[in-house]
């Protein structure tokens, strides 16, 4: 039936796989599969020695296809593609059977897990014999980066790109740089003045010859792909001065990478009306207290509050408002603000009402301990309501350690409001083809291995648009995003994945369903030939077009109908 020579390699992954799957039996089974000429099991296929094993077999046994039964292809497919490439085989002649994440890790019955692994390997071999060599294309990279958002993340990313010697275009919606950080007084846990830090960063960015700052500007469209993005930026005319022609309102930037640093929106506590925010002037948010602290004026006309309550987790860890996640910064913000208040009002009674305290990070737990040592009270409680009580407000709730009702009159309540995805996330995600996680923030390509990458090659995430972060984490994230964004620029050319969709013009009825369906804008209808065509550089190989095409005139290379059907047949056999 088939003249292919497939080598099958079963990885033990130490004991990750071997503990739950009989790897020796699996290799023996693999030898019996049609097309397989050899099968081996080895402790770590991804190790140098494991890869060498594959390379040697490819040359000595004249293998033309390789199946690696190991971890997820997202983990090591590139590794094994490189290995066979070095051995002179086309890198697309590798197929992986995921017997770790999808088998050994999720089953505990060794016999049945082994049985499942045999199906997965049979399926992979059935597909492998149908694999076809594909040619990757090299694309030149435009030496510049657009950074969307001029907050602390955007600034840090811009500076990193500029310092590396590349053009950075910083697009900021408002009239000034700094974003949310402009509203902050001091950092935690070091109590530095935020504005001093910010000013230094802004001036370094503004003074850098590689940086172009576009204020009052929004990105209106992003086309193209990694290495060659065309970014349309619209600038609101206000500041352009007289005699400026309207065409200057919008400009086109051509860059190799895009960094999204669009930040967050603070939770609006009016969505929890029981807390009385907006109703009682003595109920404020941590952001408002931050501004009062910066101004050195606590409000209340000099009559400093004698009793202050901080409420943790307002709009965070709250399924009722749709935010089940932790906003990560509020615990330390409260510890810091409570400490600052302690210094300003040594006699005041300051209590933090919390459900859990999460002071992770360098120096953070120590800071929290010191805050308590300075006499700030922490009370585990659930506050259900804030009501007026003459000139003060009354906190009503439950002390969840003592299981006792709380009714406390206070002069000032500070709500530790959390972070939410920006209101414009939906439109940005459509424009930039970014996925969002259930919390509404942009989704990174992998939570651990690719924390700043996105599903769209060449688009990177920096800062709180990906999820809540403090200043230090934001800057680390932004510099990581900038470093990743620089990779294609530094290489000068990118390899376009060859596993893209192609059109069989003889079958195409030009119905345009693929054009509508593609989230990346890769297919287009050719008006002269009356068929669809696919821009291979835009195609991300998701296969949505191939699914929707009724005639299967579009097929996804490396996942053709024949390959997938063979795979399914082998699974079901």
Partner 1 sequence: MRAVIPVSNGDTLGAVRDFLRALITEEVVDAVLVPMETTDGAVAPALVADPELLEAANPLAPVLGLNAAPVVGHVSLRTPRARIGVVLRSCEMRALVELVKLRQADLADLVTIGVDCLGTYDVPVYNALRDSKGGGALDSDALLASAETGDLAPQEGYAFRDGCQMCEKPHAEGTDITLELFGADLRVGIPVSLPDDVAVRLGLVAAALDSGEEHGRRVKVVERLVRARTQVRDARFAEILARLADRRLGRIFASCVRCHNCMTVCPICCCRTCLFRTPTFEHEPMQYVSWAERKGACRLPADTLLFHLTRLNHMALSCVGCGVCTSSCPVQLPVGSVFRAIGHRLQGTFDYVPGRDTEEPLPMVTFRENEWSEIGEE
Contact flag: residue 357 with partner 1 (CB under 8 A): no
Cβ neighbors of 230 (< 8 A, separation 6 or more) are 221, 222, 223, 224, 252, 253, 254
**Omega before residue 202 within 30° of 0, cis:** no
Instruction: For partner 1, give the closer residue by CB, 110 or 552.
Output: 552
Q: Which of residues 406-435 bind partner 1 (CB under 8 A)?
A: 426
User: β-strands 228-235, 217-225: how paired?
Assistant: antiparallel
> Which tokens in the block code for residue 526?
């050719």
Instruction: For partner 1, give the closer residue by CB, 127 or 186.
Output: 127
Query: Are 180 and 153 spatial neighbours (Cβ–Cβ below 8 Å)?
Result: no
Contact flag: residue 562 with partner 1 (CB under 8 A): yes
Instruction: Count the neighbouring beta carbons within 10 Å of the beta carbon of residue 278.
Output: 11
Nearest-10 Cα torsion for 448, 95, 563, 22? -90
Instruction: For partner 1, give the closer residue by CB, 490 or 561.
Output: 561
Contact flag: residue 513 with partner 1 (CB under 8 A): yes
- Pick the binder of partner 1 from 19, 431, 507, 559 (CB under 8 A): 507
- Shortest Å, Cβ 221 to partner 1: 18
- Shortest Å, Cβ 551 to partner 1: 4
Contact flag: residue 506 with partner 1 (CB under 8 A): yes
Q: Which of residues 201-240 bind partner 1 (CB under 8 A)?
A: none
Instruction: For partner 1, give the closer residue by CB, 360 or 528.
Output: 528
Q: Residue 198: what are its φ and ψ, rounded to 5°?
A: -65, -45
User: β-strands 65-70, 6-11: how paired?
Assistant: parallel
- Pick the binder of partner 1 from 181, 471, 489, 508 (CB under 8 A): 508
Residue 486 three-state SS: helix
Query: Are 26 and 10 spatial neighbours (Cβ–Cβ below 8 Å)?
Result: yes
- Pick the binder of partner 1 from 509, 526, 529, 568 (CB under 8 A): 509
Contact flag: residue 438 with partner 1 (CB under 8 A): no
- Pick the binder of partner 1 from 510, 521, 524, 571 (CB under 8 A): 510
One character per residue 514-553, x = contact with partner 1 (rule: CB under 8 A): --xx-x-----x----x-----------------x-xxxx
**From 89-97, 128-136, 323-331, 562-570, span contacting partner 1 (CB under 8 A):** 562-570
Among 481, 501, 473, 472, which residue's Cα sits nearest to residue 561?
501
- Shortest Å, Cβ 512 to partner 1: 5
Contact flag: residue 37 with partner 1 (CB under 8 A): no
Contact flag: residue 200 with partner 1 (CB under 8 A): no
Question: CA–CA separation, 318 vs 327, rounded Å?
Answer: 11
Question: CA–CA separation, 293 vs 331, rounded Å?
Answer: 17
Question: CA–CA separation, 47 vs 79, rounded Å?
Answer: 10
Please, is 3 exposed, middle or buried when counting C-beta atoms within 10 Å of its C-beta (0-12, 13-18, 19+)? exposed
Give the CA distances from residue 185 to residues 145, 416, 417, in Å, rounded to whole numbers and listed in that order: 31, 15, 16
- Shortest Å, Cβ 426 to partner 1: 8
Instruction: For partner 1, give the closer residue by CB, 1 or 373.
Output: 1
**From 155-163, 166-174, 472-480, 564-572, span contacting partner 1 (CB under 8 A):** 564-572
Contact flag: residue 569 with partner 1 (CB under 8 A): yes
Instruction: For partner 1, give the closer residue by CB, 295 or 547.
Output: 547
Question: CA–CA separation, 139 vs 79, rounded Å?
Answer: 22
Task: Specify the DSSP class assigned to residue 178.
Answer: B
- Shortest Å, Cβ 573 to partner 1: 6
**From 63-71, 186-194, 414-422, 500-508, span contacting partner 1 (CB under 8 A):** 500-508
> Which tokens in the block code for residue 528?
């002269």
Contact flag: residue 511 with partner 1 (CB under 8 A): yes
Instruction: Count the neighbouring beta carbons within 10 Å of the beta carbon of residue 507.
Output: 14
- Shortest Å, Cβ 550 to partner 1: 4
- Shortest Å, Cβ 421 to partner 1: 13
> Which tokens in the block code for residue 57?
């077999």
Interface with partner 1 (CB under 8 A): 1, 426, 506-513, 516-517, 519, 525, 530, 548, 550-553, 561-562, 565, 569, 572-573
């Amino acid at each position: 039936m088939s003249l292919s020579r497939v080598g099958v390699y079963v990885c033990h992954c130490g004991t990750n796989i071997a503990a739950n799957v009989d790897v020796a039996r699996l290799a023996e089974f693999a030898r019996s599969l049609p097309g397989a000429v050899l099968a081996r099991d080895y402790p770590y296929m991804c190790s140098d020695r494991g890869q060498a094993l594959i390379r040697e077999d490819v040359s000595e046994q004249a293998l033309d296809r390789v199946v690696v039964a190991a971890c997820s292809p997202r983990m090591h497919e590139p590794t094994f593609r490189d290995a066979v490439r070095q051995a002179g085989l086309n890198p697309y002649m590798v197929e992986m059977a995921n017997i770790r994440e999808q088998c050994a890790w999720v089953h505990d019955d060794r016999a049945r897990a082994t049985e499942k692994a045999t199906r997965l390997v049979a399926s992979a071999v059935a597909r492998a014999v149908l694999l076809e060599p594909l040619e990757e294309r090299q694309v030149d990279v435009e030496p510049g980066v657009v950074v969307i958002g001029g907050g602390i993340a955007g600034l840090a990313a811009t500076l990193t790109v500029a310092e590396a010697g590349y053009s950075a275009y910083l697009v900021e919606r408002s009239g000034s740089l700094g974003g949310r950080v402009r509203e902050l007084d001091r950092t935690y846990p070091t109590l530095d003045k935020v504005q001093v830090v910010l000013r230094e960063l802004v001036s370094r960015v503004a003074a850098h010859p590689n940086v172009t700052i576009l204020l009052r500007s929004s990105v209106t469209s992003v086309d193209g792909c990694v290495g060659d993005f065309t970014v349309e930026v619209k600038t609101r005319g206000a500041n352009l001065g007289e005699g400026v022609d309207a065409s200057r309102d919008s400009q086109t930037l051509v860059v190799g990478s895009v960094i999204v640093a669009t930040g967050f929106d603070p939770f609006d506590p009016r969505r929890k009306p029981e807390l009385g925010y907006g109703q009682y002037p003595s109920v404020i948010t941590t952001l408002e207290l931050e501004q009062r602290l910066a101004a050195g004026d606590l409000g209340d006309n000099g009559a400093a509050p004698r009793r202050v309550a901080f409420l943790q987790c307002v709009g965070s860890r709250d399924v009722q408002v749709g935010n089940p996640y932790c906003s990560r910064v509020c615990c330390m913000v409260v510890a810091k603000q409570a400490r600052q208040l302690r210094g300003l009002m040594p006699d005041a009674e300051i209590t933090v009402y919390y459900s859990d305290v999460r002071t992770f990070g360098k120096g953070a737990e120590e800071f929290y301990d010191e805050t308590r040592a300075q006499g700030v009270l922490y009370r585990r409680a659930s506050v259900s309501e804030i009501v007026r009580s003459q000139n003060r407000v009354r906190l009503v709730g439950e002390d969840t350690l003592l299981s006792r009702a709380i009714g406390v009159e206070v002069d000032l309540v500070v709500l530790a409001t959390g972070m939410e995805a920006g209101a414009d996330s939906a439109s940005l995600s459509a424009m930039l083809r970014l996925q969002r996680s259930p919390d509404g923030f942009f989704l990174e390509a992998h939570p651990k291995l690719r924390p700043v990458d996105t599903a769209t090659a060449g688009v990177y995430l920096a800062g709180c648009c990906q999820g809540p972060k403090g200043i230090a984490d934001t800057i680390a994230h932004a510099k990581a995003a900038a470093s990743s964004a620089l990779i294609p620029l530094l290489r000068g050319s990118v390899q376009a994945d060859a596993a893209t969709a192609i059109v069989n013009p003889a079958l195409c009825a030009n119905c345009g369903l693929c054009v509508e369906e593609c989230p990346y804008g890769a297919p287009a209808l050719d008006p002269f030939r009356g068929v669809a065509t696919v821009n291979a550089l835009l195609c991300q190989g998701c296969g949505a077009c191939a699914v929707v095409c009724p005639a299967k005139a579009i097929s996804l290379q490396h996942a053709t109908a024949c390959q997938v059907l063979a795979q399914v047949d082998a699974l079901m056999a």
